[in-house]
Amino acid sequence: MTLRSKIFIRIMGLVLGMILIVTWLACAFAARHYRDNTVDLMSEQLLILSDRAAELVAWDDRLGLKDLLQGLVGHNSVVTYAVLERFDRPYVHTFESGVPRGLLDLESGEDGRPAVHAIENVQGERFIHLAEALPVESAVLHAGLSVAQIHRQILPQILS
């Protein structure tokens, strides 16, 4: 092999390597941007739902609250759980069994925005936990977004 061929192969290898790095970075930034937009969208939705939840708490309508929370979880594939906490205790939730310990200890948002917490369960699943304080009787609305579901939604777009 001539010197010219060796140099050409090395240059092509470097160019290919740079293309792969740029492509990987673009995918990583796109996934992060999509995740941030999803969190912002769900935060806005939680703010809207918190007004309705406050009315239902004031009327002590647990069935209405259960429907509201199940609708939140059922209509959004990234939302895996929702809990309404009242007086530091679970009031209504969408878990099949009890609410996991420590979940209600997460601080609620201030300035009219839900607080965003990154959490991980004992199985290693990662979640983005949103907590919004309601304007009635120390009630807090919690929602959990699955990071894996968010990534599953963006994967086809990245691959295309």
Tell me the pLDDT band of 140, cut-offs 50, 70 and 90: very high
DSSP run (H or E) holding 28: helix 3-58
Categorize the per-residue pLDDT at 93 as very low, low, confident or very high, splitting at 50, 70 and 90.
Answer: very high
Q: How big is the chain by its Cα radius of gyration, in Å?
A: 22
Quote the pLDDT of residue 142.
Answer: 94
Instruction: Report how far residue 35's alpha carbon sits from residue 150's, in angstroms, rounded to the nearest whole number.
Output: 6
Query: Is the Cβ–Cβ distance between 97 and 85 less than 8 Å?
Result: no
Confidence (pLDDT) at 157: 78
Q: What does the domain layout of the chain look like in residue ranges? A: 3-159
pLDDT over 80 (residue 137):
no
73-77 contact pairs (CB < 8 A, 24+): 76/42, 76/45, 77/149, 77/153
Contact of 117 with 128, CB cutoff 8 Å:
yes
Q: Note the pLDDT of residue 62.
A: 94
Which CATH number is 3-159 given?
A: 3.30.450.20
**Cα–Cα distance between 141 and 122 in angstroms, integer?**
23
SS3 2: coil
Indicate whether this model's pTM tops 0.75: yes
Listed in sequence order, the residues at least 6 apart from 69 whose beta carbon sits closer than 8 Å to its beta carbon are 82, 83, 84, 92, 93, 94
Average pLDDT over residues 122-143: 90
